[in-house]
Amino acid sequence: MSELSVNHLLGIKYITQEDIDLIFKTADHFKEVINRPIKKVPSLRDITIANLFFENSTRTKLSFELAEKRLSADVINFSAAASSVKKGETLIDTVNNILSMKVDMVVMRHPNPGAGVFLSKHIKASIINAGDGAHEHPTQALLDSYSIKERLGEVAGKNVVIVGDILHSRVALSNIYALKLQGANVKICGPKTLIPKYIESLGVEVELDLRKALEWCDVANMLRVQNERMDISYFPSTREYRQQYGVSKDLLDSLNKEIVIMHPGPINRGVEITSDVADSGQSIILDQVQNGVAVRMAVIYLLASKIK
Ligand code: NCD
């Protein structure tokens, strides 16, 4: 297959195993490019991309922007805090105004689940979802799987536990879809209050005991507690969360095998993982960040090739 089955990347739910294989094969090539002295290719010289961030972001925004620039696309940036959204403009009006300046592709982060799907029904440009509320974050899940494959050779058959705030995490949902699609075994671990009741219907198992989950897995993806999405207390205190669901080096060293530690960032050092875990050889957190640029270059390149 040389073409994606979709015209937008709105979620992992909408793509296939073949799409993922094609994205990874393309990302391998771009990873080689970004490690050259000249880290740039002219592929998208005729494409203009708008990065629309209606919600805060550091690494995702920088990663997309870098990916676009390394493909030689023209890039415009928009962040809601400094925009007319605050003056009451609707999403469709905001985006249509930007598109009338001849923009070919939109990368959008938005606090509302489904914002990308909604927009795709109203505009012509190709859309990449860079996180829609607690729903999906497809490029994060792709770069996570790509990083697992890089470290362990393959994703199929691997045991992956996703630990923490599953309820509010778009990273969790996109990872579950992506890992299941590629044939990994997935468990979810965290406080019961932060695990949605429907989760087992996605083909994953729940393990409330962190030690048991870690003994089982090859990879632990440690998620941040999404305090900004919580209107009530879901656990008694940060101290108790850390004691029950935080990973320390002592805990890792006491396991019967060496597991891989991942984290999408931003890390709360000392809460979900301690500093010595984050900075240890078992952690692939910075590989995830580096791979993020190559994987996003691949997604943008493949979607752009469908525009013409
Ligand atoms: C994640 C996000 O924004 O969903 N971060 C990211 O994109 N790297 C995870 C988080 O905020 O905890």
Find residue 53's DSSP bridge partners: 79, 109
- Strands of the chain, DSSP E: 48-53, 74-79, 105-110, 126-132, 159-163, 185-189, 205-206, 219-222, 260-262
The pair of three-digit structure tokens given for residue 93, joined into one six-digit string: 């009006």
135 lines ligand 1 (CB under 6 A): no
265 lines ligand 1 (CB under 6 A): yes
What atom of ligand 1 comes closest to residue 55's alpha carbon? 3
Task: Calculate helix-pair angle for 138-152, 285-304, nearest 10 degrees.
Answer: 120
For residue 100, the tally of other CB atoms under 10 A from its CB is 8
164 lines ligand 1 (CB under 6 A): no
> Dihedrals φ, ψ of 50, to 5°?
-105, 125
- Domain annotation for the chain: domains and CATH numbers: 12-136+289-304 (3.40.50.1370), 138-287 (3.40.50.1370)
CB distance 37 to 93 below 8 Å = no
63 lines ligand 1 (CB under 6 A): no
Question: What is the pLDDT, as a whole number, of residue 83?
Answer: 62
How far apart CA 244 and CA 60 sit, in angstroms, is 29
pLDDT digits (tens, 9 = 90+) for 59-97: 999 999 999 999 999 999 988 766 666 677 888 888 888
Question: What is the pLDDT, as a whole number, of residue 308?
Answer: 63
What is the residue type of 187? K
Task: Calculate helix-pair angle for 17-34, 138-152, nearest 10 degrees.
Answer: 70
What atom of ligand 1 comes closest to residue 223's alpha carbon? 12
DSSP state of 236: S
Question: What is the pLDDT, as a whole number, of residue 89?
Answer: 81
How far apart CA 141 and CA 172 sit, in angstroms, is 8
What atom of ligand 1 comes closest to residue 226's alpha carbon? 12
Question: What is the pLDDT, as a whole number, of residue 254?
Answer: 97
133 lines ligand 1 (CB under 6 A): no
137 lines ligand 1 (CB under 6 A): yes
What atom of ligand 1 comes closest to residue 131's alpha carbon? 4
How far apart CA 302 and CA 67 sit, in angstroms, is 13
Q: State CA 203 to chain mean position distance.
A: 20
How far apart CA 246 and CA 276 sit, in angstroms, is 12
Which stretches of the chain score pLDDT less than 70? 1, 81-86, 308
Find residue 50's DSSP bridge partners: 76, 106
Residue 139 CA to ligand 1 center (angstroms) comes to 11
> Dihedrals φ, ψ of 83, to 5°?
-125, 180
Residue 152 CA to ligand 1 center (angstroms) comes to 23
Residue 223 CA to ligand 1 center (angstroms) comes to 9
Q: Is the bond preceding residue 266 a cis peptide, omega within 30 degrees?
A: yes
Pairing of strands 205-206, 159-163: unpaired
Q: Find the helix or strand (DSSP H, E) in which 216 lies.
A: helix 210-216
Question: What is the pLDDT, as a whole number, of residue 163?
Answer: 98
Residue 171 CA to ligand 1 center (angstroms) comes to 7
Question: What is the pLDDT, as a whole number, of residue 85?
Answer: 66
The whole model's pTM is what?
0.96
